[in-house]
């Protein structure tokens, strides 16, 4: 299958002003980000809050301009497209946000919200054609056509997210970036929305980027998973590999938060559990930036940044010691 999107050496920093007379500080949000996505694939992007996930999602859509690097969409570099062309291109690349109610204009009806992208992107459609499309999309996401004249505040969080999804789908995109699409929802609703996204992916032949701080959320929807730590890729592998055989200590730490009813894994879990806070992206540790929280750290980890190595069948890991970190026997037996 085709490569839909290729990210090359992406870099993004923000300048932070702390006081009137102090020099601005550089917050390194993303560094050396390279990966690609195949058509029809679902790529999960995970990491704690503040690790650069949302910034990456927004850089892909050019909602934030990266400082360096390329975002190649079917070979065309989106970072170099003039604004007007990029706006048109956005019918192919859409986004769903974390807080559904906050991302919907409270003064517009559901129908107006969903139809909104069509006004600029498909001006040739008349009112009736727009309405017919809106109703069709509403049905696809599980909203009733008679809801078309209601306002966002009349909806629950889960239904509001369905409106957000309908708005993203109305332009018939190829790719949707889902930025923590269920984090703000009740746990009981989360599975419904995840299942809906999986169904829509099949129905519309979508490619998805699925951003979450929670590995158990991306687990069932992702073909591959990219793990970010302090703005860098630390591991990229197939979903099964990430769950069954994580290589990077940070991935192992994130996995300890995923509930598995297996007492044999408990001991290893305690060892790997995430300790301490994520360091400030303004003042990052030397060498491996995970070393301040890594129980496997050795002196080399402070001296040298681990390269992102290709191991096995196209998986990537950035750790000096990945080969030495053993899964204890009882954990293997229990797995
Ligand atoms: Fe831990 Fe060292 Fe690997 Fe970084 S390079 S994850 S500090 S073992
Ligand atoms: Mg975020």
**Distance (Å, rounded) from C-alpha 220 to C-alpha 218?**
6
Interatomic CA distance for residues 72 and 285, integer angstroms: 31
What lies within 8 Å, CB to CB, of 229 at 6+ separation is 47, 48, 51, 250, 278, 289, 290
Best residue among 47, 297, 311 to mutate for probing ligand 1, ranked by most atoms within 8 Å of CB: 297
Residue 319 Cβ contacting ligand 1 at under 6 Å: yes
Reported as a pLDDT band with limits 50, 70 and 90, residue 50 is: confident
What is the per-residue pLDDT for 100? 84
Query: Which is nearest to 324 in space by CA: 299, 284, 297?
Result: 297
Q: Is 202 exposed, middle or buried (0-12, 13-18, 19+ CB in 10 A)?
A: exposed
- Burial pattern 128-164, b for ≥16 Cβ within 10 A else e, equals eebbebbbebbebbebeeebbebebeebebbbbbbbb
For residue 20, give every residue at least 6 positions away whose Cβ sits within 8 Å of its Cβ, in sequence order, or none.
none
Q: What percent of the chain has pLDDT over 70?
A: 94
pLDDT at 55 over 70: yes
Q: Ligand 1 center to residue 238 CA distance, Å?
A: 21
Q: Is the CB of 247 under 6 A from ligand 1?
A: no
Token output for 279: 């360091």
CB atoms near residue 169 (< 10 Å): 24
Average pLDDT over residues 127-142: 96
Question: Rounded mean pLDDT of the chain?
Answer: 91
Residue given tokens 């509930």 in the structure block: 259
- Predicted complex ipTM exceeds 0.90: yes
pLDDT tens digits, one per residue of 92-128 = 999 999 888 888 999 999 999 999 999 888 899 999 9
For the CA of 234, the nearest atom of ligand 1:
6
The residues near 184 (Cβ < 8 Å, ≥ 6 apart) are: 98, 99, 100, 157
């Amino acid at each position: 299958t085709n490569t839909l999107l290729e990210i090359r050496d992406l870099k993004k920093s923000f300048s932070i002003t702390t006081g009137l007379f102090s020099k601005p500080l550089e917050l390194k949000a993303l560094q050396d980000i390279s990966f690609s996505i195949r058509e029809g694939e679902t790529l999960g992007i995970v990491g704690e809050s503040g690790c650069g996930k949302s910034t990456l999602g927004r850089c892909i859509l050019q909602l934030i301009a990266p400082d360096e690097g390329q975002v190649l969409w079917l070979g065309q570099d989106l970072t170099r497209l003039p604004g007007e062309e990029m706006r048109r291109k956005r019918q192919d690349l859409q986004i769903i946000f974390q807080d559904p109610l906050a991302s919907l204009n409270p003064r517009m009806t559901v129908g107006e919200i969903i139809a909104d992208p069509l006004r600029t992107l498909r001006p040739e459609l008349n009112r009736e054609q727009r309405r017919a499309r809106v109703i069709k999309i509403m049905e696809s996401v599980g909203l009733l056509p008679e809801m078309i004249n209601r306002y966002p505040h009349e909806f629950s969080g889960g239904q509001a997210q369905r409106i957000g999804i309908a708005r993203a789908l109305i332009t018939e995109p190829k790719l949707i970036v889902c930025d923590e699409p269920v984090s703000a929802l009740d746990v009981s609703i989360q599975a419904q929305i995840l299942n809906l996204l999986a169904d829509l992916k099949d129905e519309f032949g979508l490619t998805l980027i699925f951003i979450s701080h929670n590995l158990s959320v991306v687990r069932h929807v992702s073909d591959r998973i990219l793990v970010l730590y302090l703005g860098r890729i630390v591991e990229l592998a197939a979903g099964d590999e990430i769950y069954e055989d994580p290589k990077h200590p940070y991935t192992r730490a994130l996995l300890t938060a995923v509930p598995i009813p297996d007492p044999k894994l408990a001991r290893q879990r305690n060892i790997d559990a995430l300790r301490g806070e994520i360091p400030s992206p303004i003042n990052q540790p030397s060498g491996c930036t995970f070393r301040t929280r890594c129980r496997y750290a050795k002196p080399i980890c402070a001296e040298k940044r681990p390269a992102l190595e290709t191991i096995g069948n196209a998986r990537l890991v950035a750790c000096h010691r990945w080969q030495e970190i053993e899964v204890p026997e009882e954990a293997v037996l229990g797995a």
